[in-house]
A and B are shown apart, each in its own frame.
Chain A
Amino acid sequence: MVPDHFLSMLVFSVLVALFFAVLNHRDRRGFLKSVAKTLGWMVLGSLAFAYLMYWAA
């Protein structure tokens, strides 16, 4: 397996976003909105946190 930090984070975010969307939403619109929101927050939050660690080091 290629050690790719970004890919790992992306795959994890997609799986978690899909899991909670299926768990909490039955309608298509709510499902898509939940996936987009969770995925966006997880990816952007991780990148922001990574930049913070890079900046603080």
Chain B
Amino acid sequence: MADAPLPRPKAYGYALLTLLAPGLGHWSLGRRGRAGAFFAIVGATFAAGLLFDGALFSPASDNWLFRLGAVAQMGLGLPYALGRLLGLGPLESARVTGVMFGYGNTFLVAAGLMNMLLAMDVYDIAVGRKP
């Protein structure tokens, strides 16, 4: 499907699909195997982050480092928004002082950054820049 280069607005649309679920953009372009692998890897990174007591930061946080973390985590798109709505990974003192807090945040931030890379990858495939 993505063999013929798509016009740029359409490519942006496919890239934005990645923000609904990791791998959805690849799935829509017919790269089903990769889409499943990306969904599993980014999903596992996100789940491990929450399991390791990481926090889903608010972009309106007082701490600039937390705001920066929120920008990276927002790269996850819908999973980040749902997590925030459901109250997953709350920023509470027991969690912040825990041994695993830093590790959990590293996983969550990395998951968001991975998904941003996936969106760029989908765009490159869609416009024919990547085979």
Give the interface size class of chain A. Answer: 10 to 19
Residues of A within 8 A of B114 (CB): 19
Instruction: Tell me, in angstroms, the Cα distance from A23 to B121 when the chains sit together.
Output: 8
Number of interface residues of B (CB under 8 A): 22
Instruction: Tell me, in angstroms, the Cα distance from A1 to B53 when the chains sit together.
Output: 8
Partner of A1, one of B41, B52, B121: B52
Additional A-B contacts beyond A3-B98, A12-B110 (9; CB < 8 A): A1-B51, A1-B100, A8-B100, A8-B103, A15-B41, A15-B110, A18-B37, A18-B41, A19-B41
* Chain B positions near chain A (C-beta within 8 angstroms): 34, 37-38, 41-42, 44-45, 48, 51-53, 98-100, 103, 106-107, 110, 114, 117-118, 121
